Structure 1
């Protein structure tokens, strides 16, 4: 199996893409640690309560994994939140929350995990980007800003740590059936009055493939990107978006 005797950390692994990825990693032999604020029913991973916007909590969680396993082979920095709104519609506290999780959370994870992987001289890291790492969307100022930042962090980190046999890539999903999408659709409904059914139909029609993704489809690519099968890939932004960004 691709992840036999491998130790993997997945943030936000209690639901959606993180959950599906953790399940698949475990089924392929990995010992998976799920860092999340909400406990999961998944028996395939070990849960550690962790708010990724707190560097102290991340440090403690990573040290717990090291104490138990002695190494970290793979990291999927998946945890994130969404916020609809133009700049004027976005409250400062909402902007700060999105950035603290989507940007600071990933930076903190890298800060805690990279020294471990550098000492090992091996590791595979996957950051959660978005189709908005490539293109802009209306009423998505702060979310788009955060995912643009993740894209650049991927590239610079990949360059810095390539000499240590550490690969850093970024998966960039399009619209996907997750709790984040459900909350975003509800938020857009409140802002515009457009029904949730109409919003979902609009989202489906916006994709050349004419549907939205399932978390398992994103997880399949995530596991490939974390595996040694793509041993010559680093610094890549990989779209999995039903053709949305190729239009």
Structure 2
């Protein structure tokens, strides 16, 4: 019987790479996003609890189980605390944090009943460190680190694991948009900015989405059956310095 996985935000970027990797491994993958993508697509707004609950109820009705939940949906915002409005902060937290919490809450009854489940949260190197002009985004990623660790402790008795991927700079549409916005604001040369980003990493390049997807698939699998409550760095050595 195929393993059943739910991926939030699986239409592009890291989420898309994760969906494709799990499909290659013959998972039955449900892709929850606001725009269509591969797998069994269910339109879902992660800021709307009713939408999330409905989507996951549909998965349970169709598949009868949930083996893996990968909370990947997220957005970026660049500003310091002084230049972040409460509305902007609420938007970041609604998608990056509250959406993940809602999805976990909706999946846990099924995972508890089957005495099995793996939850993977898409964190960031900013689960550990601060970066300039990243107040709201950084706050959201630190929160996800907490969600992963507390969920791991609270649900270990049900054989439900929870882990956090702390991904470094990765070549995704989110990354490209952030670079474009920076260049528009400052007049910087785009190619030079890309090169500078690569040079910041000890390995001399930024990550590929497929590399993050490989780690997500591992943590979802039974090969990681004794791994829970962990924050997994995959950042080319950036936070090791």
TM-score by length of 2: 0.97
Structure 1 residue 113 corresponds to structure 2 residue 114: no
Tell me how far 1:142 sits from its aligned partner.
Answer: 0.4
- Write the distance in 2 (CA, Å) between the matches of 1:177 and 1:139: 20
Deviation at 1:190, TM superposition (A): 3.0
Moved more, 104-113 or 194-203: 194-203
Matched, 1:147 2:141: yes
How many residue pairs get aligned? The number is: 241
1:15 matched to which residue of 2? 12
Once superposed, which parts of structure 1, at least 4 consecutive aligned residues long, lie more than 4 Å away? none
User: Displacement of 1:195 after TM fit?
Assistant: 2.3
Match of 1:170 in 2: 164
Measure how far apart 1:187 and its partner are. Answer: 2.0
Q: Deviations over 1:81-114 (max 9, x none)?
A: 0001111222332211111000101110111011
- What is the CA distance between 1:209 and its match in structure 2? 0.4
Give SS of 1:97's match. helix
Matched, 1:47 2:44: no
Give the 3-state SS of the residue equivalent to 1:88 in structure 2: helix
Shift of 1:198: 2.1
Q: What is residue 161 of structure 1 aligned with on the other side?
A: 155
Residue from 71, 85, 96 that aligns with 1:102:
96
Cα shift at 1:202: 1.5
- What residue in structure 1 maps to residue 128 of structure 2? 134
1:153 Cα deviation after fit: 0.9
Give the secondary structure class of the aligned counterpart of 1:171: strand
Counterpart of 1:242 (choices 233, 236, 239) is: 236
CA positional deviation for 1:238? 0.1
Q: Structure 1 regions of 5+ residues with no counterpart?
A: none
Which one of 33, 38, 58 corresponds to residue 35 of structure 2? 38
Match of 1:225 among 219, 235, 238: 219
Output the aligned Cα RMSD. Answer: 1.0
Structure 1 counterpart of 2:190, from 193, 196, 199: 196
Q: CA deviation at 1:116?
A: 1.0
Q: For the residues of structure 1 that align with 2:200 and 2:186, how far apart are their CA atoms?
A: 18
Residue 197 (structure 1) shift:
1.8
Q: Distance in 1 between matches of 2:216 and 2:34?
A: 22
Q: Hey, what's the Cα distance between the residues in 1 that align with 2:76 and 2:174?
A: 7
* Post-superposition CA distance 1:111-132 (Å, at most 9, x none): 1011110111100110010000
Which of these residues, 73, 79, 84, is aligned with residue 90 of structure 1? 84
Unpaired runs of 5+ in structure 2?
A: none
